[in-house]
Structure 1
Amino acid sequence: MSWFVVQADEAEVVELPGGGAFRLLADGRDTGGALGANRLALGAGADGARTHFHARSSETFFVVSGVVEFFLDGKLTSVGAGGMVVIPPGVPHAFGAAPGSAADLFAVLTPGVDRFEYFRTLGRVQRGEESFDTLLPEQDRFDVHFLDATAWREARGR
């Protein structure tokens, strides 16, 4: 791989409920496995991802706007615009927009994994078009390993 450019109008958009959306910027195959990147807009108080971990990859989030609640290893932490969170492989985490706040995040997964199909499926799941169970057999493929979300829901008051 030499270099890679994605113009704003070239990114695939996966619509989410509540005005949210994934903007798919780079998949592992686009970057020779170096990284995967997406931008995620969340409506006020919307969940971004339930509790999970990545076995092979680190995940970095930059909060572009709003406030995001990150559930990191069992602890709820709020991060505002301009803040960054780095999550190494194996660390359980979840995240969502804080109550009353919409949020915009830029996320990078390193090394890159081909996950665009994961985000497309997740969009269908969140829109009620597909069951969450369809993601379970794909956990190794997408390096997204789901955990019990009870503590995450309780921390968020749900």
Structure 2
Amino acid sequence: MSLPIQEIVLAPGEGTHLTIGNSEVIFKAVGADTHGHVGLFENVLPPGGTSPVLHIHRQMEEMFYVLKGEVEIQVGNQTVQGKPGAFVLVPRGTPHTFANQGTTTAKLLIMFCPAGDREQYFAGLAKLLQMGQTPDREALIELMRQFDQEPVDG
């Protein structure tokens, strides 16, 4: 029998902060908070900020909701210029990525279902990108595969 899910109440800016390259991820809820069902992260993305390579997930859906600025989101065969209020659902197996091509900082919510321990991917990525270093491609691919993420070579 699992323990009940506990309430989480966070003020703006609260949560566990991670610096990933020149972007920031703030964990609002992780898999351990929801019995692995869902994770919700806030991503603060400066212009040209660190963004993922085109990739897929085989075991989870990913959702994006733009809060501020403009985020270019590629999902499947379409590219969306996401302004505040834009929402994108990425079904498992669908190639996707996102980037801030604009001139102002963007902020988006990223949700994973099921979450598992997805936050560990971001923690590993933060370590690989610390101090502006370029990660070893093999180490990056191994990290991705460990947490249900596969690059789409193209």
Identify the TM-score tier after normalising by the shorter chain. 0.7 to 0.9
After the TM superposition, which parts of structure 1 deviate over 4 Å for at least 4 consecutive aligned residues?
A: none
Contact 2:20-2:50 at 8 Å conserved across structures: no
Asked if structure 1 preserves the Cα contact closer than 8 Å seen for 2:31 and 2:117, the reply is yes
C-alpha distance in structure 2 between counterparts of 1:10 and 1:75, whole Å: 33
1:80 is matched with 83
CA distance in 2, matches of 1:91, 1:10: 31
Partner of 2:139: 134
Q: What is aligned with 1:21?
A: 24
How far, CA to CA, are the matches of 1:42 and 1:125 in structure 2?
18
Equivalent residues of 1:4, 1:31 under 8 A apart: no
Matched residue SS, 2:141 = helix
- Residue 120 to residue 38, structure 1, CA distance change in 2 (3 Å): same
Counterparts of residues 58-69 of structure 1 (less than 5 Å): 58-69=61-72
The question of whether the paired residues in 2 share the 8 Å contact of 1:63 and 1:80 is answered with yes
Structure number having the greater helix percentage:
1
Alignment partner, residue 117 of structure 1: 120
Q: Name the SS of the counterpart of 1:118 in structure 2.
A: helix
Q: How many residues align?
A: 148
Structure-1 separation of matches of 2:141 and 2:21: 21
Alignment-derived partner of residue 103 in structure 2: 100
Gaps of 5+ in 2: none
Structure-to-structure mapping, 1:26-41, within 5 angstroms = 26-41=29-44
Q: Does the residue aligned with 2:126 lie in a helix, a strand or coil? A: helix
The CA deviation at 1:6 is: 4.6
With over 3 angstroms needed to count, the CA separation of the structure-2 counterparts of 1:124 and 1:132, relative to structure 1, is farther
Q: Distance in 2 between matches of 1:10 and 1:66?
A: 20
Query: 1:137 Cα shift?
Result: 2.2
CA displacement at 1:33 relative to structure 2 = 1.4
Structure 1: distance between partners of 2:143 and 2:49: 24
Q: Which residues of structure 1 form unaligned runs of 5+?
A: 151-158
The root-mean-square deviation of aligned C-alpha atoms, in Å, is: 2.1
Q: Is 2:93 the partner of 1:90?
A: yes
Q: Normalising to structure 2: TM-score of the pair?
A: 0.84
Task: Decide whether the 8 Å contact of 1:28 with 1:112 is kept in 2.
Answer: yes
What is the TM-score with the length of structure 1 in the denominator?
A: 0.82
Classify the secondary structure of the residue corresponding to 1:5.
coil
Partner of 1:56: 59
